[in-house]
Each structure stands twice: as structure tokens, then as C-alpha cells.
Amino acid sequence: MKIIDVDMKVKLIHGFSNKTRIQILESIKVKEKTVSQIVEEINGNQSNISQHLACLKGCGIIVGRNEGKYIYYSLRNQQIRELLSMFDAVLEDVENDISCCDRQID
């Protein structure tokens, strides 16, 4: 079994640690979209969304596909889709504890 580098794991998890990035991932969970489509769907700012897309792409969470003058973004693979669904399942189980937690340690 391959030993996982903890720093690499932290970088991957960082990709999921921002509200806008989670909104982007939820937006493209089922269907690939362009930046403009994502901006419209999550009511964001194009520059900000583009920066988050670059982060997600750099973390290996999403991929971009060129078609004409557009880039279509999608989740990298089925495992990322399953991970997002797993987050939802775990959240259902621990939601009450999370809502009571007032500690944010960095």
C-alpha cells in the first residue's frame, strides 16, 4: 500500500475548504459547465470564480475541456462525485454537533 504524504492530503482537502469552491463543485457535479454558466448559477463574480476554478484544477479535483472559445469544467472523475456525496451523508449524521461547534482552529 502506498504511503500517503500528509501535506499532499492537506492540499487536496484544502480544495474542498471554501464555500465558493463547494458551490462550484455542486454546480458541476452532474453536468460540465463554462465559467459563465457557473457564475450565473451561483451568482458569483467571474474573476473570483476563475481563481477558485484554477485552485480546484491545481488540486486535481476538476478538469477543463476546450471547445471553441469556451472551457467546460467538470469533476475529475466519479470518485470526486462520490466524495461529495459522502460529505453530504456524513454531514447528515454530524450536523447537530457541527452547528454547536464554535471552535475554528487553523
pLDDT(81) > 90: yes
pLDDT(102) > 80: no
pTM: 0.87
Give the bridge partners for 66, in sequence order.
71
Q: Average model confidence (pLDDT) for the chain? A: 92
The CATH architecture annotation of domain 6-100 reads: Orthogonal Bundle (1.10)
H helices of the chain, where? 6-14, 19-27, 35-42, 46-58, 78-100
Q: How confident is the model at residue 97 (pLDDT cuts 50, 70, 90)?
A: confident
Residue % of the chain over a pLDDT of 70: 95
28-46 mean pLDDT: 97
* E-assigned strand segments in the chain: 62-67, 70-75
Give me the pLDDT at residue 3, please: 86
